[in-house]
Amino acid sequence: MKTNLKSLIQIMLALCLTLSSCDNQAKRMQQAQTLYTEGVQLREQRRSEEAAEKFLQGLALVQRSKKTTEAVQLEGQLRDNLGAMYLKHGLFEDAFKQHQQALNCFKQTADSSGMMNAYRNSGRAVRAQEQYTQAKQYYDSAFRIATFINDTAMLGDLYLEMGRDYYMETGNFAKGIESVNQAMEYGLSDNDTDIAHMTLGILYYYTRDNDKAKTFLNQALRSERTGLKMSVYQTLYAIAESEGDYQQAMQYHKQFAANLMQADAEHANETMLRIKSEYELKAQQSELESLHRNRDLKLYLIIAMAVIALLVVILMVRKKISDHKLEMEQFGRQVERDQNRIHELVSDMETLIRTNDELRRNQQTLPQKDFMAIQKIMTRNKIMTTAQALSEEVNNDSLNFELTDNDWKDFIGLTDLIFDGFSQRLLQLYPKLGQWDVRICCLSKNGFSNHVISILLDTQTDSYYKRKSRIKQMKMDLGNDNRTFEEIVNAV
């Protein structure tokens, strides 16, 4: 009789395991590979939200599969491409997480090319958040792998990105010129060559070598990209103005304005597409999270089925041994213990379900309240609204502003409110800071770009870089500190 009970239990458990693994591993992997291929094609067509949806669907299938080498490799490719979609739409933290998880997958499969791309993309994600020291580390890792496997195309791209997005941003103009020239030696596409010429022109302008700057800027004007030509005309205008050639400066200004009007029209359309894409990407993330919760619920249901099946078996055995009193008593105690376990499992399942519901409600309500509160505070100050307008679009309307001392005082007060007395803590650490130094630190603490801050201060961008350097060396006494100015401010 005990042998029959054991056999019945084994049969029921085997049935539950069969239900839980009814999906075919090979079929899931084939579907995931197809979704990855479709996503790459959509990405090449610049249909980023549709590509992201394909990558998310493929990732869900891979995560339900066994962790074979093939599955881990495909997961890395899906995550690295998904991170690129998030980065394109400004979801920098989500992008960085995906690239880091992709990097771990490629390390497991010893995929040098995959690791190289993941390191580079991780560097892009943190650089977009102005974490320049960390970005340099990721770029250096990508450089080492590209050099090892002799990937000349990647080396050219990396040298160009470092010159444009790292050395120029951190004020190391000589190193930036060297890096871009190395990129051109490796050979670039026509579009990247135009970007390289524009970058060299700006870097030479920052180093006061106007003749070389004009040579490269004029070469960059061959590009058909409106945004690139705007940057070129803006720099040429600054050069002409500094040389006293005001007639030529006016010509450059007219060219800049003409491209600005075209860029405004393109930007309005791109903004609508970006908002739509970001909404759809968030919806896709929520759908993936819901899929994971449903998978957990399926597991709980399988456990419940196993427990119920066990109870049915016990009741059948109890009926068969009703004539044996001693065995009946022993069996009754067993039934009581099993029933208690059943109640505990059911109670745990109900608690988990209630907890999941509560977490979903909190995720849907709390961030919205925090966002509305911060928005309400920020919209009180003219400097906040002016800086935000400049971050979104630089035109005649956004440049037409006038800031008073009261505006700055209110701005610093709001910064202290949001960042828990930031200015007082700043002055305790660095008492040599002056009034304008504190204002600059507050603007940087609020995350505004160097370009926006230089406009608010009514100064050239290169002058603002020099001013930050003087504050760090002379006012903060941190000349030997390897951190950037922004990293020092954010650490307060």
Q: Can you list the alpha helix ranges (DSSP code H) found in 190-324?
A: 190-206, 210-220, 226-242, 246-320
Residue 69 CB contacts under 8 Å (≥ 6 apart), including other chains = 108, 109
Chain-centroid distance, C-alpha 421: 29
Residue 360: pLDDT over 50: no
Lowest-confidence region among 66-70, 275-279, 402-406 = 275-279
- Which pLDDT band, with edges at 50, 70 and 90, does 328 fall under? confident
Residue 298 CB contacts under 8 Å (≥ 6 apart), including other chains = 20
For 24, 33, 108, 191, 234, the CA distances from 37, given in Å and listed in that order, are 20, 6, 22, 26, 41
pLDDT tens column, 436-445: 999 999 999 9
- Which pLDDT band, with edges at 50, 70 and 90, does 231 fall under? confident
Position with higher pLDDT, 354 vs 303: 303
Q: Which two tokens stand for residue 311?
A: 């109870």
Residue 317: pLDDT over 80: no
Predicted structure pTM score: 0.50
Average pLDDT of the segment spanning 291-295: 64
Residue 221: pLDDT over 90: no
CA atoms within 13 A on the CB side of 284: 23
Most confident of 12-16, 258-262, 337-341, 383-387: 383-387
Position with higher pLDDT, 356 vs 141: 141
